[in-house]
Amino acid sequence: MPSTILYGGASRGRHLLDHLVRYALIAAIVTVFAAFSAAAPTFLAPANLQSILVNNFTLLAIVAIAMTFAVSAGGIDLSVGTAIDFASFTFVSLVLAGQPVPLAVLAGIASGALVGVFNAALIAGIGISPFLATLGTLFIGRSLQQLLTNGGNPVYLPPAGVPEAFRFIGHGTVFGIPFPLVVVFLVIVGSGVALSKTRFGRVVTAIGIQTSVARYSGVAVPAHIAVTYVLTGAVAAIAGLILTSTVTVYIPSSGNAFLLNAIGATFIGTTLSPLGRPNIPGTVLGVLLLSIVANGLLLTGLNFYWQQVGTGLLIFVVLSISFINQKAKRRA
């Protein structure tokens, strides 16, 4: 990936430490990768590597990219899980009702976007802080799902009667490449271009860095913020569709499982960029790092509960690097 896409092409760091920071994520990924290769013989097996990408990376990457939109504009979206769940529920319900799969896909994405519209109304319309607004949405979304499913019962699709198009989303391949990987690739490229190559992305970045300056420059700040939350909901919905198709079941409130990792990956990517801005490539590398750690720790036979300790330590290391770098910059 060319470095101009990596960091928005705005600045080329000239300091050695900037380079260290720029490559710190890649260095961390290589280090972790090498460590697990040595520690767990099965880690390097092609089947495992594919599993990292398909099982660990794909869904989290999409959710973290969704999160990156909200964070870019200076906000946060705690309700990405709600968008995932609503998309999943709509998708499953329409397929069960015998509707065509493409229609169900569109309706699923629309319902995720609708969660975003709700957030946008609270944040850009009323002016509630993003943290509280999306926390409220998270609670409401959880209750609604309980109500829709008689207290949280999963909605299964009968294995026999599943349309081929539905199965394809989670299990199909294109030229031998798993379809979810194709989707995640398109989401990465599309989002990366949107944030770093378009007027929209530039304006959102300016809002995220200093809202008042954007406002005083004549930028329609609320409208742009609103769009980021709708985008966040819509992109998160894509993860909901793949998840549902993979497991052929809708489990209420299961989307929230991605929330903390998505925030972690987004902020790892933000912190370890030379300009300290949220950016898609940084987020993707953050997700890759978390995915490798999660998979590797599992393979080494470590207790499941230790995985969280690993993730936590990782975040501390990342923050320390960034902190040292900033201190050095201040001294310079």
Partner 1 sequence: MSQPSPQGATALALNIRGAVKHFGGARALSGASLAVRRGTVHGLVGQNGAGKSTLIKLLAGLHTLDEGVIEIEGQAQDTLTPHLAEELGIHFIHQDRLLVPTFTVGEALFLGREPRIAGTPFLDRRAMQRQAAAILDRYFGIRLPNSALIADLSTAEKQIVQITRALLHSPKILVFDEPTAALVRREADILFSLIRRLKEEGITIIYISHYLGEIEALCDTVTILRNGIDVATLAVRDTSAAAIASLMIERDIEEMFPKRTVAIGDPVLSVSRLSSPGKYHDISFTVRRGEVLGVTGLLGSGAKELLRTLFGLEPALSGEILAGGKAVRFKRPSDAVRDHLALVPEDRRGNGVALDLSVTENTTLAGLKRFTRLGFLDPARERAEVDGLIERLQVKTSGRDALLRALSGGNQQKVAIAKWLSRQSEIYLLDEPTVGVDVGSKVEIYKLIGELAERGAGVLVLSSDLAELVGITDRILVLFRGRVVKEFVSSDTSPDAVLAEATGSLEGRRHVG
Q: With contact defined as beta carbons under 8 Å apart, do 243 and 59 qualify?
A: yes
- Closest Cα to residue 190, out of 29, 91, 68? 68
Q: Provide, rounded to whole angstroms, the least separation between the CB of residue 160 and partner 1.
A: 46
Applying CB under 8 A, does 220 fall inside the site for partner 1? Answer: yes
- Cβ partners under 8 Å of residue 128, min gap 6: 122, 136
Among 214, 272, 280, 285, binds partner 1 (CB under 8 A): 214
Applying CB under 8 A, does 127 fall inside the site for partner 1? Answer: no
Residue given tokens 């987020």 in the structure block: 283
Give the whole-angstrom CA distance, residue 118 versus residue 136: 11
Segment interacting with partner 1 (CB under 8 A) among 37-45, 205-213, 244-252, 289-297: 205-213
- Residue nearer to partner 1 on the CB measure, 111 or 266: 266
Applying CB under 8 A, does 310 fall inside the site for partner 1? Answer: no
Q: Give the burial string for 176-203 (b: 16+ CB within 10 Å, else e).
A: eebbbbebbeebbeebbebbbeeeebeb
Q: Provide, rounded to whole angstroms, the least separation between the CB of residue 1 and partner 1.
A: 18
φ/ψ of 119, rounded to 5, equals -60, -45
Applying CB under 8 A, does 275 fall inside the site for partner 1? Answer: yes
Applying CB under 8 A, does 125 fall inside the site for partner 1? Answer: no
Q: CB count, 10 Å around CB of 298? A: 19
The type of residue at 86 is F
Residue given tokens 């961390």 in the structure block: 28
Structure tokens at 165: 């198009």
- Residue nearer to partner 1 on the CB measure, 9 or 100: 9
Among 217, 306, 317, 320, binds partner 1 (CB under 8 A): 217
Applying CB under 8 A, does 210 fall inside the site for partner 1? Answer: yes
The type of residue at 183 is V
Q: Provide, rounded to whole angstroms, the least separation between the CB of residue 10 and partner 1.
A: 5
Applying CB under 8 A, does 167 fall inside the site for partner 1? Answer: no
The type of residue at 323 is F
Segment interacting with partner 1 (CB under 8 A) among 91-99, 118-126, 195-203, 236-244: 195-203
Segment interacting with partner 1 (CB under 8 A) among 22-30, 98-106, 154-162, 213-221: 213-221
Rule CB under 8 A: which residues touch partner 1?
9-12, 197-200, 202-203, 205-206, 209-210, 212-220, 275-276
